[in-house]
Chains A and B, each alone.
Chain A
Amino acid sequence: QKEVEQDPGPLSVPEGAIVSLNCTYSNSAFQYFMWYRQYSRKGPELLMYTYSSGNKEDGRFTAQVDKSSKYISLFIRDSQPSDSATYLCAMINGGSNYKLTFGKGTLLTVNP
């Protein structure tokens, strides 16, 4: 079993839709959870970072962590064509050497 599982999609939604992206993980030592956005032929860029269970909101984006279920989500409200990208979840085992472990990424297309 991979440490981090992420449905690769692709996911296609109309403009204005609410998008839900998810990752599950198996390593209970993961403490820090991140979402990266990667546009085509570009490097990933950090979107949001959370620690421990709960929600974190930043504009149209909400990151949610449920440690008891080992499940994290990213919600995008009022999705825009400019949100079309691959979204990667990433996690850090705080008890180790702080390396990032990435999911495979979900390709999202928002259609105008």
Chain B
Amino acid sequence: DAEITQSPRHKITETGRQVTLACHQTWNHNNMFWYRQDLGHGLRLIHYSYGVQDTNKGEVSDGYSVSRSNTEDLPLTLESAASSQTSVYFCASSPGTGHTLNTEAFFGQGTRLTVV
């Protein structure tokens, strides 16, 4: 079955380190998204991509970067981890081309990141 997987599921890192969270989907979806979920804030969009070589900033993109070199993967990099980036991170993908409607987004299981 097609799926979307995130790795690692849990990670503890130190302040200032670079961290990369992986996201891999096998649906061949064009659209991929990274969200963070925090108590009191809900899901907030970090970065998104509508296709290979396309990346866009979301509402909370500072300190994060993504790259899209193929359809299946959208890794999220924290350039220099900060305690404020302790959160649960969700990757999602949705079908469609370009800016078509993203009503049916499929989410991964999440990565719980702790920055100490």
Asked if residues B110 and A42 are in contact (CB atoms below 8 Å), the reply is yes
Residue from A32, A44, A46, A92 having most chain B Cβ neighbours under 10 A: A44
Which positions 96-112 of chain A face chain B at CB distance < 8 Å?
Answer: 97-100, 102-105
Asked if residues A99 and B102 are in contact (CB atoms below 8 Å), the reply is yes
Q: How many angstroms from the CA of A97 to the CA of B47 in the assembled complex?
A: 13
Asked if residues A98 and B102 are in contact (CB atoms below 8 Å), the reply is yes
Interface presence of B2 (CB below 8 A): no
Question: Total number of A-B contacts with CB less than 8 angstroms?
Answer: 58
Task: Name A34's contact: one of B35, B40, B45, B103 (CB within 8 Å).
Answer: B103
Q: Which residues of B contact A94 (CB under 8 A)?
A: 101
Q: Report the interface size for chain A: residues with CB under 8 A from the other chain.
A: 22
Q: How many angstroms from the CA of A73 to the CA of B42 in the assembled complex?
A: 18
Task: Name B109's contact: one of A6, A43, A46, A104 (CB within 8 Å).
Answer: A43
Asked if residues B105 and A88 are in contact (CB atoms below 8 Å), the reply is no
Task: Name A44's contact: one of B44, B45, B90 (CB within 8 Å).
Answer: B90
Which positions 5-52 of chain B face chain A at CB distance < 8 Å?
Answer: 33, 35, 40-45, 48
Asked if residues B48 and A43 are in contact (CB atoms below 8 Å), the reply is no
Asked if residues A92 and B107 are in contact (CB atoms below 8 Å), the reply is no
Asked if residues A99 and B48 are in contact (CB atoms below 8 Å), the reply is yes
Q: How many angstroms from the CA of A44 to the CA of B45 in the assembled complex?
A: 14
Q: Which residues of A contact B107 (CB under 8 A)?
A: 43-45
Which positions 68-116 of chain B face chain A at CB distance < 8 Å?
Answer: 90, 92, 99-110
Residue from B44, B104, B105 having most chain A Cβ neighbours under 10 A: B105
Q: Which residues of A contact B58 (CB under 8 A)?
A: 99
**Which of A's residues lie within 8 Å of B, judged by CB?**
6, 8, 32, 34, 41-46, 49, 88, 92, 94, 97-100, 102-105
The 6 closest A-B pairs by CB, nearest first: A43-B107, A104-B42, A102-B43, A49-B103, A98-B102, A102-B42
Q: Can you add 20 more A-B contacts, CB < 8 Å, to A8-B40, A94-B101?
A: A43-B92, A43-B108, A44-B107, A45-B107, A46-B104, A49-B103, A88-B43, A92-B101, A97-B56, A98-B102, A99-B45, A99-B102, A100-B33, A100-B102, A102-B35, A103-B42, A104-B40, A104-B41, A105-B42, A105-B43
